[in-house]
A = this chain, B = another copy of it.
Amino acid sequence: MKNAMEIAMEQDAPRQNLAISAYRTLKHDIIRGRYAPKEKLLMSRLKECYGVSTGPLREALSQLVADRLVVAISQRGYRVAPMSLAELNDIYDARAQLEGLILRLAIERGDDDWEASVLATAHRLAKVTDISSPDELLDGWDLRHKAFHTAIASGCNSPHLLQMRNTLFDQVERYRHLWLQETVMSPAALEQKRQEHAALVEVILARDAEKAAILMRDHLMTPVPIITRVLQDRGIS
């Protein structure tokens, strides 16, 4: 019988070492909510579940600690990092501020190729409703949505700022996943997002940094009330 990791890896051609593979699948499972916040991560259970021994497993876990998705308690092993309304608010605020800064820089520094890639990814995102299947729509929309925002950010031309953006996104994604599950991409929400994206593209091409930063912050903060409700329903304060 195949273990969880082998199944998850079947599509990835470049077979890296076991620690990195375990890190990726574990991260994926935590973000998607397979393990609850504060849940204990038993060494023995993970070993048989992912089919790796303690060495690579501890490597993966200590990297997840650096990502703040797992917390380590000395001599008491690892637990999934807790979730809280306080962290939700801080994480989304930090992301909105950072994304605003990056957008300002992108508008200041971005060249013609950047403008072209923003337009191209925006177009691809707007046309995503053509896909019929419901599950495929959500996956396809999320993929193109990420590509759109990444294209915008890449105009800032700073690998280190983009790296920090990625780090923060990993931390936000566990909360964001709650929002995706909740809205299930209703046509109304999808239409609202479509309009926000169109407005963003317009002010970006007009190089209006001030207006763009404000639009971006509002756009990123819209999921917060919904996620707040979901967390409260689950008894998380």
Contacts and interface: CB of A to CB of B under 8 A. Distances in A.
Contacts of A44: none
A65 to B, nearest CB: 8
A81 to B, nearest CB: 13
Contacts of A58: 19, 55, 59
B98 A105 contact: no
Contacts of A68: 163
Interface residues of A, number: 31
Interface of A: 16-17, 19, 54-55, 58-59, 62-63, 66-68, 74-75, 90-91, 93-94, 97-98, 101, 105, 158-161, 163-164, 167-168, 171
Report, nearest first, the 8 A-B pairs whose CB atoms are least far apart: A94-B160, A94-B161, A66-B66, A101-B101, A59-B62, A164-B164, A94-B158, A90-B160
28 contacts: A17-B74, A17-B75, A19-B58, A19-B62, A55-B55, A55-B58, A58-B59, A59-B62, A62-B62, A62-B63, A66-B66, A68-B163, A90-B158, A90-B159, A90-B160, A91-B160, A93-B160, A94-B158, A94-B160, A97-B101, A97-B105, A97-B158, A97-B161, A98-B98, A98-B161, A160-B171, A164-B164, A164-B167
